[in-house]
Structures are given as structure tokens and as C-alpha cells.
Structure 1
Amino acid sequence: MDDVTSESVFSRTKPVQWTADVAVIGGPPCSSVEGVDERELESDADLAFAFRHAAGVIAADWYRQRKDDSLVLVVLYNYRHALELGLKAVIKSMIASLQFEEPAQKLTVEQEQVLARARSKHDLSLLLDDLSALAQHFQMPLPEVVRTACEKLHELDPDGQWFRYATVRSRTRGADSVAARPDPIYVDVPRLSQLAETACSALDDLLDRTHELQDWQTSLGPEHDQEAHRRAVLVTRQHHEDDLHQA
């Protein structure tokens, strides 16, 4: 193998000789179906899939070879981050639908706060509550498995830091760092994977349904009456129920 240098590993220009060893991350902004700029290769939904996939691969490897249990922390972190990104993707998409309905009006203060949390917060409990309220508005009930998975992971890691470190900053102001897991926690890894995978799939389904709604919005044009919005939501929900019956 050639000597490894930063220039040989990373490049901002396309390689002269393309090989299967080269991965591409990032990309120029493109206009998403919601009318919000998304990075072509790196939307929240895409990264949620990546973290979810990584968690599944590591969990399967741990189960097959019974490797060091510290790997399970990486599984937990990746599933937690996948759920965080999944929640944020659906929230942003639903807020974009609200903006499309009333393009001449600004978001309410509450909606701006929801969007700000989706852009910067890592608290699964807050994001879960925000999505639950939005889902109710769109007549898309939040699946219970999403709530269960997020609440369980939030108990163990309230801010996205506790799975990443052995010690974390104490929640008590002025106190020293504390052990992230002072008492043993016993994790059924296959059941963890089943719960997290089901919750991630449920969020994917919510995002798909929101995108379907946006297709109807685009077809109908910006609506300023609640009846037209209600019709689009009902059509989307009926299509979802038809898919469930056919499954």
C-alpha cells in the first residue's frame, strides 16, 4: 500500500482515476420536494438510514461473534441518532407543508420554535412531543412503537452524549463529571434491534406519507381554505390504509 497522506485520503476534486474504493460524501444543494434546500446526498432521512444500517450491522456482528459488550454502546448510539434524525426529518417536512399552505404568511411563534428545535436540539423527548402534535394536525397518528423506542433511549441518553462517553457532565450545576452508567444495564440486543428497526421504519412511513401529501399540495396549488387541506390529508390517509390492507 502506498504511503497514506491526507491528500491521498481526502480530495475536493474528482479523482482522475475512479475506483470502487472511493466514496462520495456531500454535494451541491438541490431543491427538495418541500421547497427547502437539502444537500443532494445528505438529507436527515439519508443519514438516519446510514446510522440505522450501521447499528444493525454492528448488532449482528456482536451477536454472531459475541464480541466486547462495549460495541453495544455503539449500537445504542447509532440507533438513537437514527431516531433523532428520523424525527427531525418528519418534523421539517410537516412544517414545510404548513408553509406551502400559507406561503404569504409567516410561521407562528410556536411553529418557529418547533422548527428551531428540529434544527438544533438533541432531546428525543422534546422532538417526540413536537412530532406528536404535528402528526395529530395532519391526522397521521404517531405509531406507539416510535414513542416507546424514543422514551426508552431518552431515559438512558437524554441529550445524545451519554452513549458516547464513559463519563459525562453532571446535570447538577457546579458538580464534577459523573459516570454515564453508574449501575449495570442489561440489554437484550436482538430485541433492541427489533424495537429500533420497527420504530425507524414507522418514521420512514410517516415521511413517505408526508411526501405523498406534498405531491397533492403541489398538484392542487397553495390552499387557503381548510377544506382543501382536509381533502388532501384524507386522500393521503386513504392511500395509506389501502397499502396496509394490501400488505
Structure 2
Amino acid sequence: MIADRPTIHPSPTPAWSGNEIAIFGGPSEDELTLAGSYQTVGEVLANHYFQIRQDDGLVLPILYNYRHSLELALKWLIRMAARCALRDGYQGEENLSAARVEERLRRLGHNLKELAERLDLYMKLLMRFGPENELDADSLDLLRKLYAEDEWGDAFRYAMIGRPPNAIKVRPLTEVREFYTEVNELHRLVL
């Protein structure tokens, strides 16, 4: 027997027999639905971290789930803002066709800063709400901060990014951060 072998815990037994199955996919699944689910996972992990067991190995998965939730929500909101602007009669220079919006979203990928800026631009095109319609400064600042820490959606998922021989360690130095404050800021933004 290996002394340092970790104990493997089986999945918990479902409280009700109906919980043995899961239903996902279908016509009601979209980015906003998934965004809410990733936010819930981030919240569940954060609650576990703060209330049950402060395991610093959970910090990055918590941040990743909140970050991914924000990315999916931004993409859904961009699509919705473009459709609403067209519905409201927008005929400006910006091409808001569904195909062009999807092309832009693919190009922007996981870039929270550019996604937030795109949403902000599209919100300003919504005639019904006036030209002052935009993302609030605190939300934009938090999205830019998150972008600075994880530009392309891989820094919270991996220890090393890039391809050898140019791969770099994402966090070469140990950090001590106000994680509770960070999580609460992210949670407020996602809600």
C-alpha cells in the first residue's frame, strides 16, 4: 500500500432517486443559461471555500467559473443588444446582422475587455434608452481588471501557458490576496 496515496471519495449518493439523472441541452440552453450555471458553480465553490474548508486549490477554479460566467453573459448580451438595436430601427454604420455579430464574437474569443467594450458600444446604439445607455464604470473597471489578470481565458485554467519552448508560468510568484473581497465583487457583477 502506498502511504501518501490520496483517498478517493465516491460521488455522494443522491438524496432522491430522481436526482440520479441529469437533463441538459435542447432549445432552452443558451449562453445566458450556461452563464448562470457557471456562476452557481463559482458560488458553490466559494461557499465551500469560505465556510467549510479553506483549500487554496479551489481559488483558481472559483475565479475561472466566475470569469467564464461573465464571458458567456457578455456574449449573450452583445447578441441581444444588437438584435434590439435593429428592432428599434438602428441603421448606422455598425453592421449588426446576426452573421456579423457572430463573426465579431469569434474574433473576440475570450477577451473580456473587448467583449465589455463591444457590449458598451451596442448599448449606446439602443435608441429607446438614449445615448447615455452604457455599462457602469465599476463593471467596466472590474471586467478590465479580470482581463488584465486573464486575457484569453487560460490563466485560471493552467499553470503554464503557451507552447514550448516559449511556455511561461502563469503565476511565477506566490501571491496573497483579499480573495473574499474579490469573490464578492465578482458575485455582485454577475448577478
Scaled to the shorter chain, the TM-score interval is: 0.7 to 0.9
Distance in 2 between residues matched to 1:195 and 1:141, nearest whole Å: 19
Q: Shift in Å at residue 117 of structure 1? A: 2.9
The match for 1:187 among 154, 169, 177 is: 177
Deviations 1:114-167 (A, max 9, x none): 442335611011101101111222242212232122111111110011110110
The match for 1:169 among 153, 162, 167 is: 162
The match for 2:190 among 185, 189, 200 is: 200
Could you list the runs of 5+ residues in structure 1 that have no partner in the other structure?
1-17, 28-38, 202-247
Q: Is the 8 A contact 1:169 1:177 kept in 2?
A: yes
Distance in 1 between residues matched to 2:59 and 2:112, nearest whole Å: 20
Scaled by the length of structure 2, the TM-score of the pair is 0.77
2:111 is matched with which residue?
123
Scaled by the length of structure 1, the TM-score of the pair is 0.61
Deviations 1:177-226 (A, max 9, x none): 1101112233322211211111112xxxxxxxxxxxxxxxxxxxxxxxxx
Q: 1:111-150 residue pairs with structure 2 within 5 A?
A: 113-119=100-106, 121-138=109-126, 139=130, 140-150=133-143
Q: 1:1-247 residue pairs with structure 2 within 5 A?
A: 19-27=18-26, 39-40=27-28, 42-102=29-89, 108-109=94-95, 113-119=100-106, 121-138=109-126, 139=130, 140-169=133-162, 175-201=165-191
Read off the aligned partner of 2:162 and give its amino acid letter: R
Percent of aligned pairs with the same amino acid: 27
Q: Is the 8 A contact 1:48 1:83 kept in 2?
A: yes
Secondary structure in structure 2 of the residue aligned to 1:187: coil
Secondary structure in structure 2 of the residue aligned to 1:83: helix
Moved over 6 A (4+): none
Secondary structure in structure 1 of the residue aligned to 2:156: coil
Could you list the runs of 5+ residues in structure 2 that have no partner in the other structure?
1-16
> Is the radius of gyration larger for structure 1 or structure 2?
1
Q: Shift in Å at residue 113 of structure 1? A: 4.9
Q: Is the 8 A contact 2:82 2:96 kept in 1?
A: no
Secondary structure in structure 1 of the residue aligned to 2:33: helix
Change (3 A) 1:96 1:119: farther
Read off the aligned partner of 1:19 and give its amino acid letter: G
Number of residue equivalences: 168
Q: Shift in Å at residue 78 of structure 1? A: 0.5
Change (3 A) 1:67 1:143: same
Q: Is the 8 A contact 1:51 1:79 kept in 2?
A: yes
